[in-house]
Amino acid sequence: MTILKSISTDKAPGAAGPYSQGIRLGDLIFVSGQIPIDPLTGKMVDGDIGEQTARVLQNVSAVLEAAGSSLDCVVKTTVYLADLGSFGEMNKIYAKSFGEHRPTRATVEVGLPAGVAIEIDAIAVPE
């Protein structure tokens, strides 16, 4: 029998709809798309794509931590950008956040909710 475990933490923004911040299924952890909301204030981060990317990856990291994982254990991300023209700046912060670790990644330009510039989801394994 397959057991799904919902992952929840107050260190990342709460789900704004009928979904979980994350799900653990065996040795896989799925993190829902995170946007640049500061979980302490509940407000969008003011700032450029670099600041928004940093906040999003902090949110992803918080969900992973709650699931017993970390950015070092991410195997795949999808980066959703409102403007592919911001790819270079996003990529600098993304690379800094992951250090030497290089998960697989897809990056696409899409319309995003609430006027945010970026959303990132992830798949990881436990530490």
Sketch out the chain's domains with CATH numbers: 4-124 (3.30.1330.40)
- Mean pLDDT, rounded, for 108-124: 95
Contact 90, 49 (CB under 8 A): yes
Beta pairing partners, 122? 31, 77
Tens digit of each residue's pLDDT (9 = 90 or more) over 61-102: 999 999 999 999 999 999 999 999 999 999 999 999 999 999
15 pLDDT above the threshold of 90: no
Cβ-proximal residues to 71 (8 Å cutoff; 6+ apart), any chain: 57, 60, 61, 64, 97, 98, 101
Q: What is the pTM of this model?
A: 0.96
1 pLDDT above the threshold of 70: no
- Mean pLDDT, rounded, for 29-43: 96
Burial class (CB in 10 A: 0-12, 13-18, 19+), 49: buried
Phi, psi of 74 (to 5 degrees): -75, 130
113 pLDDT above the threshold of 70: yes
- Mean pLDDT, rounded, for 93-116: 96
Closest CA to 62 of 86, 97, 87, 104: 97
